Structure 1
Amino acid sequence: MTADDGTNDHCVFCAIVDGDAEASVVHEDEQAVVFMDLNPVTPGHLLVVPRRHAAGLEDLDEETSTHVWRLAHRLARALRRSGLRCDGINVFMADGEVAFQEVFHFHLHVIARHAGDGFTINADWKERSRSLLDTDASAIRNALVNS
């Protein structure tokens, strides 16, 4: 699932959380730290990072996940009120290498958006038949019951 080796010895986000690496911290509490992305899509691009190392979403407990998503919601509101250019917000999560995850410590991106900012998501969107959607829904329902 991830490129994580099960340790956090070389995790830059763990180093930031531990105070061993520089970061422009916006918020911190017992469960999470929020800091500015070093390579932002736009000014105001934030990262919401749980203190406990979890490589991906499946490795993160639901309580911490809920807290991180709640913080992302609050920070999105703060971005809109900050005076930074922000006409919209993307909350983005990359879970796994094929999903473009680069740092294998779960995190959410909260990105201030404005027209012409250069950030795009391109895909080959194709409508899927109802029967295939129903089959997919059934498989997910079954997995949900067993999780």
Structure 2
Amino acid sequence: MNINFSEDEILYLKGDKGLVGIVKIAISNKIIYIGTPDNEEIAMFLEENDLIAISSFDNNEKAVKSLAYLTRETDAPIIVLDKNHPSSKRLPLVLSVGERVKLDCNIKPGTHPEQDILCSCDSLSGLIIEKTENGVKLNKDFKNYEIKEF
């Protein structure tokens, strides 16, 4: 299933107990830095139409939009927590960047430096989101979505 939207819009995929907001990278050769639990910093090189996907566990569209703005427009780094970090259970938002993201409800939020997987609510788990020139492609039909101005 394809969903088209532009770089000045945000796509919200709505689940039963959470949502995922998706924005597109507007320029090629953008660099986002990822801080790992091993005190390393990974530079991730992004291309035009790559995705920033943000999962909200409390359906907070405003917070999703704010984190998307911080990541895309101000180059805020992504911080990955250690798997045993106590704050992981208190994160209201987590994000992933790249050309493909798999949503999974069976991982600890904020603890995966791999950017192709993102914690989500149960009803969104298993969705695979891939960039296209005009939006995204989902691995299955999904009807509960909304596109809004970014």
TM-score (norm 1): 0.25
TM-score (norm 2): 0.25
Structure having the higher helix fraction is 1
Structure having the higher strand fraction is 2
- Bigger Rg over Cα: 1
* Larger RCO of the pair (alpha carbons < 8 Å, separation 6+): 2
